Structure 1
Amino acid sequence: MTLVLNVSNHLIDNAESLAEEIVDGVLHNMKLKIPQWEKEQAITMYIEFINFLGNSLFIEEEEVPQTLIEWSKRNAARQVSPEGKISKIMVRYPPTRDIFTDIITNISIEFGLSLKDHSFIIKRINNMLDISLNETVFAFERLSDEYREETQRELAELSAPIVLIKEGTAVLPFIGIIDSYRASYIMEKVVPKIADLQLNYVIADFSGILKIDIDIARHLHQIGQMLDLLGIQTFTTGLRPELAQTVVNSGINMSKITTFANVKQALESIK
């Protein structure tokens, strides 16, 4: 127990130099360059990590410092982007384990620790690193889901803007790929906005649509029916042959849809 106490005191007394050794070792082994602020943040975290480790050698429960959890979450947050990859963070854990193992092995030899005590410390370190890794992955998945939902919502807003042309008349240009999420968004968010504008005519322009499937065609037809129920006359423009074929295949009766080649023609029909 005295030998473990000596190791505990050594870890606490030398936490800063050991933290710097760990961070420098990982960066060197991976040939990795990071901003100075990120390096300092990592050193600060490992100082607390080592202090916590030193103090925990006499505690049976395996816990981790909150700083480690927050640091892991921040690492995940920095990777949440269209190009971000969680693997950039995960690949740092194996060399970190190796360096920790080498440091603790040298300390164990220096203080004459038994193999059992040495193994105990290594297991505790690995447990802390495993929790950090799990927190990083969980945070990345949660933040990525939130990012995708926000991006999807923003794209849905852009996919069907309401463009006022003149009093009582607006163009609803569908842009990009209309999927089930965007179709639902148009139904739930865009149609109420159209109703609030007290329009008489809406020109649904499909010239910016890349493709639609049969289910989406039915969704869009339902949107047109909702506008009709609101007393708003709907015209369809820009329906290319391949899109028209999809509409026909969906079972929608085209004879009940007022169509024009383009927005200009639709506007000219409105007196």
Structure 2
Amino acid sequence: MSLFFIFSKYIRENVESLAIEVVESVLHRMKLDIPEWEKEQAIAIYVELLSYFGESLINEGKDLVPDTFIVWSKRNAAMQVSSRGKISEIAVRYSPTRDVFTEILTKISIDLGLSVKENALIIKRINTMLDISLNETVFAFERLLDEAREETKKELAALSAPIIPVKDGVVILPLVGYIDSYRANYIMEYVVPKIADMDINHVIADFSGIFTINIDIAEHIHQIGSMLQLMGIHVITTGLRPELAQLVINSRINISAIETFANVKKALESIK
């Protein structure tokens, strides 16, 4: 019976106690205090990893990392994104985890009489597993963070241009906050079609809640108004502060075809 086989057999027979030792040692070194459920989850995952690790030493055809370990890595990334945590909070755990594994596996190698070369191969194998886990965690974190940011941008864009029905055939489109190219395009792609699907005759575009815009954004907004007019919808603008009005004039945008009022109240009074 080869020493590698004996080592593998030892790992598989003592997998639960080894997993507990790994988790407890890492928590002690990092001075971490985690909930009991999280500790039990980590132990269960390391039980599976070590079982898989032990089998891989005598079965070269085996994948380097079990699927559940990859799933666990991705789940950790998802938890960090949902809690607005940093990926570094997970990454810093890998170094002490490597150290703990190296010490435990080296001690077992010495006790079982493995050579330095054999022990080096064992340490290399466990480090490869940990590298794959770290990579999967980082990749998942970046992807999920990008998705979360995109969703947040969509939510903010929707909040920046809500459609508010005030009476039959009339809606107010209050433009709120900072209007950038993303939000302007969002209005064009999502808000305008939604208005088109409604039985609307008049749209009051209120600018009083806008913090700032530039000439390019003013052009976008003008295009939105033109699209609505082409659909046969009467467009009225309100709340154009002096600096916004000056920007429109400087941009040479022709707004002569659009009625303008100081506020929404006067615009509503003008609609018969």
Aligned partner letter, 1:133: L
* Equivalent position of 2:45 in the other structure: 45
* Equivalent position of 1:134 in the other structure: 135
* Equivalent position of 2:195 in the other structure: 194
TM-score by length of 2: 0.94
d(CA) in 2 for partners of 1:249, 1:134: 51
d(CA) in 1 for partners of 2:140, 2:245: 44
* Equivalent position of 2:151 in the other structure: 150
Cα separation, partners in 2 of 1:2 and 1:36, compared to 1, 3 Å: same
What is the aligned residue count?
A: 271
- Structure 2, gaps ≥5 residues long: none
CA deviations on 1:191-245 (whole Å, 9 max, x unpaired) are 1222222222111001111221222111110000011111111111112223223
d(CA) in 2 for partners of 1:249, 1:233: 25
d(CA) in 2 for partners of 1:57, 1:205: 69
Query: Are 1:223 and 2:233 an aligned pair?
Result: no
Q: 1:160 Cα shift? A: 1.1
SS of equivalent to 1:164: strand
CA deviations on 1:137-157 (whole Å, 9 max, x unpaired) are 111111112222222222222
Cα separation, partners in 2 of 1:153 and 1:31, compared to 1, 3 Å: same
SS of equivalent to 1:79: helix
Q: 1:45 Cα shift? A: 0.6
* Equivalent position of 2:101 in the other structure: 100
SS of equivalent to 2:200: coil
Query: Are 1:241 and 2:226 an aligned pair?
Result: no
Percent identity between matched residues is 66
CA deviations on 1:114-162 (whole Å, 9 max, x unpaired) are 1110000000001000000011011111111222222222222221111
Mean Cα deviation higher: 134-143 or 122-131: 134-143
CA deviations on 1:62-82 (whole Å, 9 max, x unpaired) are 611111101101100101137
d(CA) in 2 for partners of 1:99, 1:260: 71
CA RMSD, aligned part only? 1.6
- Structure 1, gaps ≥5 residues long: none
Q: 1:12 Cα shift? A: 0.7
Aligned partner letter, 1:191: V
Cα separation, partners in 2 of 1:118 and 1:31, compared to 1, 3 Å: same
Q: 1:256 Cα shift? A: 4.0
d(CA) in 1 for partners of 2:189, 2:217: 15
CA deviations on 1:11-33 (whole Å, 9 max, x unpaired) are 11111111111111111111112
d(CA) in 1 for partners of 2:7, 2:270: 88
TM-score by length of 1: 0.94
* Equivalent position of 1:122 in the other structure: 123
Following superposition of structure 1 onto structure 2, how do residues 1-271 of structure 1 map, counting pairs within 5 Å? 2-61=2-61, 63-81=64-82, 83-271=84-272
Aligned partner letter, 2:28: H
Q: 1:44 Cα shift? A: 0.5
d(CA) in 1 for partners of 2:189, 2:75: 35
d(CA) in 1 for partners of 2:126, 2:161: 53
d(CA) in 2 for partners of 1:254, 1:157: 25
SS of equivalent to 1:64: coil
Cα separation, partners in 2 of 1:82 and 1:225, compared to 1, 3 Å: farther
